[in-house]
Structure formats: C-alpha cells, structure tokens
Amino acid sequence: MRRGTPPEGDPGAGAADAVVVLGAQVLGPGHPAPAVRRRVSHGVEALRRDRARWLVLTGGVGAAGVSEASVMADLARRLGVPEHRLLLEEESTSTLAQAAAVARLARAGGWDRVVVVTDRYHLPRALFLFRRMGLTAGGDPARGPGGADRWRWLGGAVREVAAWGKVALQAASGGLRRAAEKARAE
C-alpha cells in the first residue's frame, strides 16, 4: 500500500481515475462503524464498475486513535481490492481537508477525474468542495446494508446545514480559494 503516492503505470482507464471514499467514524483498530462499512463496500463496487485505477480512502486519526483511512483499507482488502490499487490519505479531519488532500494526490499522479462516495446528505457539499479544488468530480451515494436509521440520517442532514454555513464563511473569507491555491501549488 502506498500512502499518498499514486502508483505509476497501473491499469484501468474507466470513467474515473479514482473512487474516493470519504472517511467516517471508526470505533477502533479493525472496528469500522456502519457508515464506514457501507461507504467502503459501495466504493469497492464503484471501483469495479467504473474501472477506476485507484481506491482513495480518506480520514485522519480521531478519538479511536487510528486513522479512518487505515481501518477502511483493511476492509477494502477483505473485499478483494489489491494492495497496489489503494491510496490512503490519513491526515484530513474535515471534508475540505479531504478535498484538498485528494487534489494534491491527483496532481502528483497526473489525474483529475474522481467519483466521490459518501452518504447522500453529505454528497452535495463534498462535490462542491472537490470541484472547488479543481477536480472533475462526480458522486455516488453509499447505499446498502448498515444504512443509517431515519433519526441518524436526520441528524446527519441537520449537521450538513451547519456545515454549509461554515463553507459559506470559508468562501467569504477567502479560505476556499487559499485551500485550492495551496492544493495546486503542492
């Protein structure tokens, strides 16, 4: 597995260069929460269906003491993704940071087409941020077993309203522009 360096000469020339699975809470090493299981499973399906080169797994270290990306990589391996197709981004702790980090990976690897996998309520904001970072981004909302119950989904949707407010403030203060410029420069 390569952390942050896209493999060269890897086969795959589908609709996207990479399927990017956005991180979510993990409960500890080897213990993905249901959202992580759902997202990774869906991301692996998208990788195969879209014939993308890489599966990019994002998410830094949270309260569980292990990066979300590393827990997701263990799950992806168990679902049959070969090691050389995995890229881990283990520093980000926000959607904006994930978008910027993936943009840096893409530029380093000479690619820009991504399919973003996350929960449906999170997808519009994620796509907005990935596109602001200069990526050609499409979305594929995670579906499948382990889906959030109605109340958890509603809670996520309410959090998204606040997150959009934060994005608006970042845009107004120039923070999004600076993040995009930094992602392009690195």
Specify the DSSP element, H or E, that contains 20: strand 18-21
pLDDT, residue 31, reads 82
Comparison of pLDDT for 8 and 84, the residue scoring more: 84
- Residue 16: C-alpha distances to residues 1, 59, 114, 116, 138 (Å): 20, 21, 5, 10, 9
By percentage, how much of the chain surpasses pLDDT 70? 79
Q: Domains of the chain (ranges plus CATH)?
A: 18-185 (3.40.50.620)
pLDDT band, residue 42 (cuts 50/70/90): very high
**Long-range own/partner contacts, residues 152-155 (CB < 8 A, 24 or more apart):** 153/119, 153/121
**Is residue 2 scored above 70 in pLDDT?**
no
What does the pLDDT read at residue 182?
72
Residue 57 pLDDT grade (very low, low, confident, very high; cuts 50, 70, 90): very high
CB 126 within 8 A of CB 116: yes
Lowest mean pLDDT among 33-37, 133-137, 159-163: 159-163
User: 35, 50, 30, 11: which is closest to 140 by C-alpha?
Assistant: 50
35-to-11, 61, 128, 156 alpha-carbon distances in Å: 29, 16, 21, 11
Give the integer Cα–Cα distance in Å for 83 and 146: 25
Determine contact, residues 131/179, Cβ cutoff 8 Å: no
Q: Which helix (H) or strand (E) holds 18?
A: strand 18-21
Is the pTM value of this prediction over 0.85? no
Of 12, 20, 15, 14, the closest CA to residue 44 belongs to 20
pLDDT band at 39 (very low <50, low <70, confident <90, very high): very high
Task: Specify the pLDDT at position 11.
Answer: 36
Confidence class for position 12, pLDDT limits 50, 70, 90: very low
Q: Is the pLDDT of residue 110 over 50?
A: yes
Average pLDDT over the chain reads 82
